[in-house]
Structure 1
Amino acid sequence: MSADALLDALDPEQRAVATALTGPVCVLAGAGTGKTRAITHRIAYGVRTGVYRPASVLAVTFTARAAGEMRVRLRDLGAGGVQARTFHAAALRQLGHFWPRVVGGAPPRLLEQKAPIVAEAGRRVGVSVDRVSVRDLSSEIEWAKVSLVTAEDYQRAAEAVRRPTPAGQEPQAVARMLTAYEDVKAERGVIDFEDVLLLLAAMLAQRGEVADEVRAQYRHLVVDEYQDVSPLQQHLLDQWLGGRHDLCVVGDPSQTIYSFAGASPHHLMTFTRRHPRATVVRLVRDYRSTPQVVGLANRVLTATRRPGDPAPLHLVAQLPDGPPVRFTAYDDDEAEAAGVAARAARLVASGVPASEIAVLYRTNVQAEAFEQALAAAGVGYQVRGGERFFSRRDVRDALVLLRGGARAADPGVPLGETARDVLTSAGWAPA
């Protein structure tokens, strides 16, 4: 495929992205506007025209799936030598390469699960280490580290953003927990995923020869989903750049979904302040949804805009008209699941193939209610992108314990109380 043919496959705004090959570039891309298409064609066009060497481009995104999709697209476009990775995968690769030279020996073992270390740290400082507390404290440790908040600064930082303290703990206790967590990791010779970014950023900042080598390798950086960059990721990105401006970022402040974990659209919203000569391109042609869906999305984003926020992108639907959007409120999760299942059953009865009906939910834990409701309504279903609730190991284990508890239960004790006692002893807690 020729360079011109690459551009022929794009709409005018996507073509503007693809031809902006140098200098800082900011792409504000609404949902369904073909942002991945635009940035992969930009990279491929740069390679095809000789502006880029494939090995000199590093494209980073947030999930392994997105990185894999980007690699496939780039390979199909003739730019197979480009590195497309998640932040952590790119950082881990570089850290592993330079560690023997800078520190000596093999890098520390990567910790896959925080829970055992968090539980030990909690015991050392007298913090509750039941199942729920360990989960919440693990999340808080991740938030602190990706927000570049130390144990000494934790209380001030948490109060500044009005962050609820986890597991009912006082901020001082959480700060002690942060210190103990780092101590336990050091004793066991392990690092966590946040350490990968922290250690590499420190190595680049402190060892000029390492930074020079990395910056000489990667001359052109692309960051997808830039609205979800954390302070730690931005810090590493700054080290990769080393004051250069050959950076293309893609995102949409309205699509920020990881703010609870320390991500912030601030870096995207202030990009032109840090890069005053940036080229800004807006992708607003929505190829994914009908005018009814896009129109509702535009109205919702406009109505929920807070004072001081930038105006949201106003998307323009490219698909034909579809049915109107319906909105139904329910009293609770069970009623919602029953209502959704009843609606699916009516659609199937009217001749709509079940394969054309989708139920989307926010978190996997919500799947149980929908699975039960669909089964009760006689509607066959498949769970995509997640494990069936009753197939999860922790749920299977809990069911075994409940069956055993029911067999050994005192007839004079209410069954609900017996179930609570069994699950509490296994580390479960009331929702």
Structure 2
Amino acid sequence: MTAATHSSPFPQVPDSPDAVLAGLDPEQREVATALHGPVCVLAGAGTGKTRAITHRIAYGVRAGILQPASVLAVTFTNRAAGEMRGRLRELGAGGVQARTFHSAALRQLQYFWPKAVGGDLPRLVERKVQLVAEAAARCRIRLDRNELRDVTGEIEWAKVTQTVPADYPAAAVKAGREAPRDPAEISQVYGLYEQLKRDRAMIDFEDVLLLTVGILQDRHDIADQIRRQYQHFVVDEYQDVSPLQQRLLELWLGDRDSLCVVGDASQTIYSFTGATPDHLLNFRTRHPDATVVKLVRDYRSTPQVVHLANGLLGQAEGRAAEHRLELISQREPGPDPAYTEYADEPAEAEGTARRIRDLIAAGVPAGEIAVLYRINAQSEVYEQALADIGVPYQLRGAERFFERQEVRKAIAGLRSAARFGDNDPLLDDVVDLPSQVRAVLSGNGWSTQPPAGSGAVRDQWESLAALVRLSEDFTKARGSATLSDLITELDERAAAQHAPTVQGVTLASLHAAKGLEWDAVFLVGLTEGMMPITYAKTDEQVEEERRLLYVGVTRARLHLNLSWALSRSPGGRAGRRPSRFLNGLRPGSPATGTRGGAVDAGGVERGSGRKRGRRGPVQCRVCGRTLTDAGEMKLMRCEDCPSDMDEALYERLREWRVGQAKELGQPAFCVFTDKTLMAIAEAVPGSEAELQQISGVGGRKVERFGTDVLAICAGEELGGVDEED
């Protein structure tokens, strides 16, 4: 493997510019040598993007084209910035600045504040939630801990999208956000929060960006000084930039175009924080002369894992899907992904733990194994299953289940109720253990129905619901169990799960797994309602859930296991269905619609016995060139090759799409993208089966729009809209 993504622990500093390029694949080398003008690198998962851009900077420095102090590389996490600095040092370019957006802006703000404003820079807010809590109290709005965290998140979103307090309610509705409180209340808290900061001469992290933007806009002399300092910019994870970060980048650049951006629209999973892939997708529109390089050689995952990842995105819809990258694995073949259906969640956790134990016994280090789930509340059953068989684990991006504040508070309430027994009025006339637990937890935020929307309130409810389920399962196992018995059981579980671990299996949410990779990955809980999550209502939200699963799939190097449970608890109604995203991908499943395939006694699904054919390279039907662009693959031809499209049909389809988009209240591309309409106008399908063969036309869209599209292709006039639809 000539372009591996992992560097030696003791690398030799290259002795020449050409030596910097050694070992890069052709596309990575193209990135490294494209040192002039705007450059856009579309880099798929596992394709060595960090390697490509660090070698680009190092090659420019070693060749004398770039001065180290004139380069600013920005990314989104301190970990990524640190990794970039380390690689640059190894390549002999240690003088280059590699920082997060906030770190770079804060450094500039500290330096220029005395000159631009005078005096000392206001101090940074250490704990934003405390100030938000004070603002809420002054507004006579009571927020519990979880609402406080969610309202703080809404304020952060408003600031990175440059939304002022008065405009928040309208902006939240327009963005389709599930506000944790009345938007008018959040607007009021937001306004007072800003006032408190001003009164106390304090700023928060979002202010760091806002104030830097303000100074650069107002003080051209300072802007010019920064532009003289930094002549060349590199932005990693460009699909995650917010409107505020994009504005700062534009001010750093001025009227220059010495910019290299790197990103993948298919890994956009943080839109709820204000991130948007639009800046990446529109880069060529803003910079028509940009050099565009696509990295599609995947050095991380086996062909089997890559095939599944490509298939997952192949069913995607919307604008980001239009620009998806078809990855090509560079690794030797490995095992096929394993799909497992379990009767219930405990069985799924126990089965997963057994498979992990077998992998460890076969020589896979525990630290190279991960269990990934949609929400943190799912962790408890996996923590317990791993603890039960003695497999060490570590949680990433979340507290251990028994260390979460709501869980500790709930257990304290249960302990108190067990101590006072009959004297606790909450337990009057409550006999069985699960009912006693529900009665106690109802005062901690638990209810029979989950709260609407997402966020911390939902996570808190899920944690408490896990305790309720635990009491139900405990009662089934020990019919005469008391509340005191349950407390003893909880204490024993907590003690077992707090055993120190040095090298453990990683338990993490899919969001927390971004940027990481393991030899073996278990994607668990893949049922409708969890993947996609229940509160993903719009097409755009559902597609982001698909991208989240794609991120999970592409974390695996060799072993990939996907599983789901038909029931929540043992003996429960088996009413759950596997995630729609697996349809057409797992053996025995239909392309769309309901679940199919038989399941053997061990829980492993048996398909029809026919494996999906591996997709080979897609070639242009005109010139024969191998296609890598998703839009070109949709058309089955190069963008520049002659088209046999029916122009009149294409225009009729576009007119029809305008009407549909208006009726649905959605952007036109949510109906069909331009490329899909072009593909339809070239193919002129005559049946639903032919229409569904066109990339970008899934079963859902055939059901919704197929009759109209086929009628237009047949030259028929459309009738009125059926009011029952």
Does TM, normalized by the shorter one, top 0.5?
A: yes
Q: Distance in 2 between matches of 1:332 and 1:252?
A: 36
User: 2:461 maps to which residue?
Assistant: 430
User: 1:24 maps to which residue?
Assistant: 38
Give the deviation of 1:344 after TM superposition. Answer: 2.3
SS at match of 1:360: strand
2:105 to 91, 95, 113: 91
Deviates more, 1:97-106 or 1:315-324: 97-106
What's the CA shift string for 1:187-233, capped at 9, x where partnerless? 23221111100000101100111101111101000000000000011
Asked whether 1:67 is paired with 2:91, we answer: no
- Asked if the contact 2:265/2:323 (under 8 Å) is kept, the reply is no
- Asked if the contact 2:277/2:320 (under 8 Å) is kept, the reply is no
2:218 to 199, 202, 206: 206
1:286 to 282, 295, 298: 298
SS at match of 2:262: strand
Deviates more, 1:1-10 or 1:262-271: 1-10
User: 2:650 maps to which residue?
Assistant: none
2:141 to 117, 121, 127: 127
Give the deviation of 1:294 after TM superposition. Answer: 0.3
SS at match of 1:222: strand
User: 2:59 maps to which residue?
Assistant: 45
SS at match of 2:121: coil
User: 1:383 maps to which residue?
Assistant: 394
Asked whether 1:109 is paired with 2:140, we answer: no
Q: Distance in 1 between matches of 2:420 and 2:313?
A: 53
User: 2:317 maps to which residue?
Assistant: 305
Give the deviation of 1:164 after TM superposition. Answer: 1.8
CA gap of 1:387–1:147, structure 2 versus 1, over 3 A, is: closer
Q: Distance in 2 between matches of 1:102 and 1:307?
A: 41
Give the deviation of 1:26 after TM superposition. Answer: 0.2
**Counterpart residue type for residue 286 of structure 2:** R
User: 2:329 maps to which residue?
Assistant: 317
Give the deviation of 1:155 after TM superposition. Answer: 2.3
Write the mapping of 1:26-425 to structure 2, written as runs, cut at 5 A.
26-167=40-181, 169=182, 171-306=183-318, 309-328=321-340, 334=346, 336-347=348-359, 354=366, 357-362=369-374, 364-376=376-388, 378-383=389-394, 385-386=396-397, 389=400, 392=403, 394=405, 398=409, 401-402=412-413, 405-406=416-417, 408-411=419-422, 413=427, 415-417=436-438, 419-420=440-441, 423=444
Q: Distance in 2 between matches of 1:237 and 1:329?
A: 47
CA gap of 1:332–1:61, structure 2 versus 1, over 3 A, is: farther
SS at match of 1:276: coil
Deviates more, 1:32-41 or 1:387-396: 387-396
CA gap of 1:211–1:294, structure 2 versus 1, over 3 A, is: same
Q: Distance in 2 between matches of 1:174 and 1:31?
A: 38
Deviates more, 1:411-420 or 1:75-84: 411-420
- Asked if the contact 1:14/1:283 (under 8 Å) is kept, the reply is yes
**Counterpart residue type for residue 389 of structure 1:** R
What's the CA shift string for 1:143-167, capped at 9, x where partnerless? 1111111122222222222222223
What's the CA shift string for 1:248-270, capped at 9, x where partnerless? 00000001121110100000000
- Asked if the contact 1:24/1:279 (under 8 Å) is kept, the reply is yes
Give the deviation of 1:350 after TM superposition. Answer: 6.7
**Counterpart residue type for residue 401 of structure 1:** A
Deviates more, 1:181-190 or 1:219-228: 181-190
CA gap of 1:351–1:90, structure 2 versus 1, over 3 A, is: closer
**Counterpart residue type for residue 29 of structure 1:** A
SS at match of 1:234: helix
Q: Count residues in correspondence.
A: 427
Q: Distance in 2 between matches of 1:9 and 1:352?
A: 28
Give the deviation of 1:384 after TM superposition. Answer: 5.8
Deviates more, 1:295-304 or 1:352-361: 352-361
Q: Distance in 1 between matches of 2:384 and 2:207?
A: 41
Deviates more, 1:171-180 or 1:78-87: 171-180
What's the CA shift string for 1:47-79, capped at 9, x where partnerless? 011111100000000000000000000001010
Give the deviation of 1:186 after TM superposition. Answer: 1.8
Q: Distance in 2 between matches of 1:202 and 1:87?
A: 15
- Asked if the contact 1:341/1:379 (under 8 Å) is kept, the reply is no
SS at match of 2:338: coil
Q: Distance in 2 between matches of 1:37 and 1:45?
A: 12
Deviates more, 1:316-325 or 1:121-130: 121-130
- Asked if the contact 1:344/1:379 (under 8 Å) is kept, the reply is no
CA gap of 1:133–1:299, structure 2 versus 1, over 3 A, is: same
Q: Distance in 1 between matches of 2:354 and 2:332?
A: 28
Give the deviation of 1:184 after TM superposition. Answer: 1.9
- Asked if the contact 2:357/2:391 (under 8 Å) is kept, the reply is no
**Counterpart residue type for residue 188 of structure 2:** R
Q: Distance in 2 between matches of 1:117 and 1:44?
A: 44
TM-score by length of 1: 0.91
Give the deviation of 1:333 after TM superposition. Answer: 5.6
Deviates more, 1:134-143 or 1:59-68: 134-143
**Counterpart residue type for residue 213 of structure 1:** Q
SS at match of 1:195: helix
Q: Distance in 2 between matches of 1:12 and 1:379?
A: 47
Q: Distance in 2 between matches of 1:309 and 1:62?
A: 23
- Asked if the contact 2:42/2:293 (under 8 Å) is kept, the reply is yes
SS at match of 1:327: strand
CA gap of 1:418–1:102, structure 2 versus 1, over 3 A, is: same
Q: Distance in 2 between matches of 1:48 and 1:308?
A: 36
What's the C-alpha RMSD, in Å, of the aligned pairs? 2.6
Q: Distance in 2 between matches of 1:353 and 1:204?
A: 50
CA gap of 1:109–1:219, structure 2 versus 1, over 3 A, is: same
- Asked if the contact 1:136/1:166 (under 8 Å) is kept, the reply is yes
CA gap of 1:202–1:116, structure 2 versus 1, over 3 A, is: same
SS at match of 2:261: strand
- Asked if the contact 1:367/1:388 (under 8 Å) is kept, the reply is no
**Counterpart residue type for residue 133 of structure 2:** A
SS at match of 2:384: helix
CA gap of 1:232–1:328, structure 2 versus 1, over 3 A, is: farther
Give the deviation of 1:289 after TM superposition. Answer: 0.1
- Asked if the contact 2:160/2:243 (under 8 Å) is kept, the reply is yes
Which of the pair has the greater relative contact order for Cα pairs under 8 Å at 6+ separation?
1
**Counterpart residue type for residue 281 of structure 1:** V
SS at match of 2:339: coil
SS at match of 1:55: helix
Show structure 1 runs of 5+ residues with no match: none
Q: Distance in 2 between matches of 1:135 and 1:270?
A: 33
CA gap of 1:241–1:409, structure 2 versus 1, over 3 A, is: farther
Give the deviation of 1:80 after TM superposition. Answer: 0.3
Q: Distance in 2 between matches of 1:345 and 1:372?
A: 14
- Asked if the contact 1:406/1:418 (under 8 Å) is kept, the reply is no
